[in-house]
Amino acid sequence: MPLLDIASQCPSLLASYALGTTAANARALDSTEERIQDYRREQRILSDNSISGQSVQRGTLPPDTRPYLAPDWPTLAENTMPSVIALSAIEQPYGFAENSPAWLIPGVQQNAATAALTHYRAWQKGWAKQDAKRQHQTICGGFVIEGNRVLTAAHCVDRQEALRIRTAGGEWRAAHVVGADVTQDVALLEFEGDPLPPIKVANTLPRPGQDVMAIGSPSGYGFAVGVGIVAWHGLDAKMLSPNDFMLVTASVVGGNSGGVVVNTHGEAVSLVSYGSGSYTQTVPIDRALTVAGQLAK
């Protein structure tokens, strides 16, 4: 073939080569994606089977086998309130250097460039005006376990400052974090002033179908109650540290986190973690107290 003809066909040859290469890469990519999806399905099945095999009555507490006790919710709420608190806080200032993307780069934290970028972004986004509007707002619930110590959910105190609690009697107390385990969503707080009566703790866990009541601060309304039943005991793989959880149907809206769940005897059976549709994941009280003990040390 003459050299001129070969040269004239180069663009089409190159295009064919590129098209073939692209098609081959696409097929390889599809094959790789299929293998990834197959692997994920296999792992999900293994995980589901593992969780299903362990989704029975769990934890260190035995199931509650006492005779059925019809709930008297008004009396239970009234008797429980002295041990319940509403948690209030102020969000951290917007101008913290952590808000700068440069903060994520190792070695640049707190240097002159980061400080300059932070100041620029603060001016650009009007952080100073936003910070001036910050004020206390009720964000979560909690309950007293002993003296001046309160249990709440760890995510409630993340990136918050100037914590304070409000008692059922309307008194405000300054508080601080003793410790928080984000992986298990349990935090231990300590407040100032006179101690409050600790909540009565259950030595059994309610069985699926048994009545429970949750007390928290939905949408900032402190000391609101919601009732339901225990739906499930098992493992929650959505948490950073999959562990025992108790699913309840007591209504939960943003702000119930950290609140207490009590049985019809008025005993604390779990700590509210988060809501998922009509259901609420809660930390069984035995595990919550174990984590609190570790945080106290």
User: Is residue 26 located within the same domain as residue 111?
Assistant: no
Question: Is residue 244, in this structure, part of any structural domain at all?
Answer: yes
Give me the DSSP letters along the chain.
Answer: --HHHHHHHHHHHHHHHHHHHHHHHHHHHHHHHHHHHHHHHHHHHHHHHHHHHH-SS-SSSPB--SPP----HHHHHHHHGGGEEEEEEEEPPTT-GGGSGGGGSTT-TTSHHHHHHHHHHHHHHTHHHHHHT---EEEEEEEEEETTEEEE-HHHHTTEEEEEEEETTS-EEEEEEEEEETTTTEEEEEESSS--PPPPB-SSBPPTT-EEEEEE-GGG-TTEEEEEEEEEEEEETTSSS-EEEEEE-S---TT-TT-EEE-TTS-EEEEEEEEETTEEEEEEHHHHHHHHHHHH-
Mean per-residue pLDDT, 213-230:
86
Q: In this predicted structure, what is the pLDDT of residue 124?
A: 66
Lowest model confidence (mean pLDDT) among 65-74, 96-105, 197-206: 96-105
Task: For residue 194, tell me if it sits in a domain.
Answer: no
Rounded distance, CA 252 to CA 266, Å?
A: 19
Residues 12 and 245: their CA atoms lie apart, in Å, by 63
- Asked if pLDDT for residue 202 goes beyond 90, the answer is yes
pLDDT score of 165: 92
Q: Could you tell me which residue, 221 or 181, shows the higher pLDDT?
A: 181
Q: How many domains does the chain have?
A: 3
Q: What is the percentage of the chain residues whose pLDDT exceeds 70?
A: 62
Per-residue HEC secondary structure of 168-220 comes to CCCCEEEEEEEEEECCCCEEEEEECCCCCCCCCECCCECCCCCEEEEEECHHH
In this structure, the answer to whether residues 28 and 114 fall within a common structural domain is: no
**Number of other CB atoms surrounding residue 280 within 10 Å:** 29
Tell me the pLDDT band of 5, cut-offs 50, 70 and 90: low
Task: Taking residues 116-122, report their average pLDDT.
Answer: 68
Q: What is the pLDDT of residues 83-108, one digit of tens each?
A: 999 998 876 665 555 555 555 555 55
Give the span between the Cα atoms of 234 and 52, in whole angstroms.
8
Q: Which residue has the higher pLDDT, 120 or 79?
A: 79
pLDDT category of residue 269 using cuts at 50, 70 and 90: very high
The reply to whether 254 falls in a domain is: yes
pLDDT score for 56:
45
Band of pLDDT at residue 256, cut at 50, 70 and 90: confident
CATH number where 224 lies: 2.40.10.10
Cross-strand bridge partners of residue 282: 246, 272
- Residue 138 inside a domain? The answer is no
Distance CA 113, CA 132 (A): 25
Q: Does residue 45 sit in the same domain as residue 128? A: no
Q: Residue range 245-267: average pLDDT?
A: 87
pLDDT value at residue 249: 92
- Residue 18 in this model has a pLDDT that exceeds 70: no
**Residue 188 falls inside a structural domain:** no
101 domain residue, yes or no? yes
Q: Is residue 158 part of a domain?
A: no
- The pLDDT confidence band at residue 7, using thresholds 50, 70 and 90, is very low
CA angle centred on 139, ends 261 and 135, rounded to 5°: 160
Full residue range of the structural domain in which residue 112 is found? 94-133
The segment with the largest mean pLDDT, out of 24-33, 165-174, 212-221, 264-273, is 264-273
Q: What is the pLDDT of residue 153?
A: 93
Q: What's the mean pLDDT when you consider all of the chain? A: 78
Mean pLDDT of 144-160: 90
Average pLDDT over residues 178-193: 93
Which range in 93-107, 190-204, 223-237 is most confidently predicted, on average pLDDT? 190-204
CA distance to 83, 182, 183, 252, per residue, from 218 (Å):
18, 21, 23, 7
Q: What integer pLDDT is reported at residue 290 of this predicted model? A: 94
Specify whether 207 is located in the same domain as 292: yes
Say if 186 falls within a structural domain.
no
Comparing 29 with 73, which gets the higher pLDDT?
Answer: 73
What is each CA distance from 3 to 11, 14, 15, 43, 60, in whole angstroms? 14, 16, 19, 57, 85
Q: Taking phi first (over 0 means left), then psi (-120 to 50 degrees means alpha), and beta for anything else, what does residue 170 get?
A: left
pLDDT of 74 strictly over 50? yes
Distance CA 165, CA 84 (A): 10
The label of the residue with tokens 């440069």 reads 102
